[in-house]
């Protein structure tokens, strides 16, 4: 198949390109050329916001167009000329598109976030999901039957956010690890490589409509992630369970300071349904494989600092206060 990929060099796009290369599809990338990791592929160099660069792709026939990086509806609409000649449009959206983030078992036909088209183009925790919904609506305007991919937290090697990566890195390098006391709290994610396989399969099968891409609800809890990290790293770091009330009273931010920590009803978002995707072939690799490959990537990159999670100094300060409480002093 002749496929155009918008983006294609960072994380999700990178794994997707590698999967499609392995299947011998004819790939062309449209991106800024800042990270040329696939020099063997045809590339249209330019910012996706430049109509003149997009028009270079508009004069060609595409079996599929995969959009890995649309954040605003105008970016989708700028592809109008490209999509008119494309048989299949794939938009990577997000499960943040759902309106009620505290509802368990969210399905593809549940209510979506509402945001005005006039909202200033600024991505925040409040606007991200709404803008993704507007991108989905723009996709439906331009393509008769787009494929909408709504991933949960995407994890794996080359993850630029470092959110899941925080835990294997912390457990591997720490002497003592602060952990929220919520061992049975559900966690959900999708390995970027499993995401890539599903998208490649879905294109080949001409699947359409929205799909939630996460591992099965209830498959893993917070303790499972930690235990997998300890098994893979063979770490001797001391795990210290700290109450959620203590963390919240001391200004520790869920996700920002402690990735995957979702106290209270917000944890229901980690129980999103993937039934439709599983029925159409979604397979999730074992948790330990994901952790092992992340650790190998960290070692290869010699990565020592992360973008996500609390600093060592902040962790030590909190542990000192917690120890004092536990000792009664």
Q: Tell me the pTM.
A: 0.95
Question: How far is CA 3 from its chain centroid?
Answer: 22
User: What distance in Å separates the CA atoms of residue 93 and residue 134, rounded to the nearest whole number?
Assistant: 10
User: What distance in Å separates the CA atoms of residue 275 and residue 205, rounded to the nearest whole number?
Assistant: 18
3-state secondary structure of 190: strand
Residues in the chain: 329
Show the low-confidence residues of the chain (pLDDT under 50).
none
For residue 209, what is the enclosing H or E element?
A: strand 209-213
Is residue 141 within 8 Å of 79, Cβ to Cβ? no
User: What distance in Å separates the CA atoms of residue 143 and residue 208, rounded to the nearest whole number?
Assistant: 11
User: What distance in Å separates the CA atoms of residue 225 and residue 229, rounded to the nearest whole number?
Assistant: 6
3-state secondary structure of 266: helix
For residue 83, what is the enclosing H or E element?
A: helix 80-83
Using a pLDDT cut of 90, give the percent of the chain over it.
Answer: 89
User: What distance in Å separates the CA atoms of residue 186 and residue 268, rounded to the nearest whole number?
Assistant: 8
Q: What is the pLDDT of residues 8-57, one digit of tens each?
A: 999 999 999 999 999 999 999 999 988 889 999 999 998 999 999 899 99
**Intra-chain end-to-end CA distance of the chain, in Å:** 68
Does domain 2-151 fall under CATH 3.40.50.720? My reply is yes
Domain ranges of the chain: 2-151, 166-188+217-270+286-327
Distant-in-sequence, close-in-space partners of 174: CB < 8 Å, separation ≥ 6: 235, 237, 312, 315
pLDDT of residue 329: 66
pLDDT of residue 93: 98
């Amino acid at each position: 198949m002749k496929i155009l990929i918008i983006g294609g060099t960072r994380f999700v796009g990178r794994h997707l390109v590698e999967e499609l290369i392995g299947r011998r599809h004819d790939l062309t990338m449209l991106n800024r050329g800042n990270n040329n990791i696939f020099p063997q592929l045809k590339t249209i160099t330019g910012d996706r916001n430049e109509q003149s660069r997009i028009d270079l792709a508009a004069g060609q026939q595409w079996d599929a167009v995969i959009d890995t990086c649309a954040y605003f509806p105008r970016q989708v609409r700028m592809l109008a000329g490209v999509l008119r000649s494309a048989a299949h449009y794939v938009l990577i959206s997000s499960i943040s598109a759902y309106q009620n983030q505290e509802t368990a078992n969210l399905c593809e036909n549940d209510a979506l976030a509402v945001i005005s088209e006039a909202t200033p183009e600024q991505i925040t925790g409040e606007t991200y999901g709404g803008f993704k919904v507007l991108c989905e609506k723009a996709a439906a305007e331009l393509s008769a039957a787009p494929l909408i991919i709504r991933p949960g937290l995407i994890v794996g090697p080359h993850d630029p956010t470092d959110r899941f990566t925080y835990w294997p890195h912390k457990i591997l390098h720490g002497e003592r690890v602060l952990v929220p006391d919520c061992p049975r709290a559900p966690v959900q994610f999708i390995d970027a490589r499993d995401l890539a396989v599903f998208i490649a399969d879905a294109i080949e099968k001409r699947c359409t409509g929205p799909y939630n891409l996460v591992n099965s609800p209830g498959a893993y809890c917070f303790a499972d992630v930690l235990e997998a990290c300890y098994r893979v790293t063979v770490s001797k770091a001391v795990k210290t369970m700290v109450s959620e009330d203590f963390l919240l009273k001391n200004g520790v931010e869920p996700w920002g300071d402690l990735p995957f920590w979702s106290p209270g009803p917000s944890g229901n978002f980690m129980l999103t349904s993937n039934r439709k995707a599983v029925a159409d072939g979604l397979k999730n690799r074992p948790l330990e494989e994901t952790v092992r490959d992340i650790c190998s990537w960290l070692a290869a990159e010699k990565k020592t600092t992360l973008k996500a999670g609390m600093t060592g100094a902040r962790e030590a300060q909190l542990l000192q206060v917690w120890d004092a409480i536990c000792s009664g002093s």
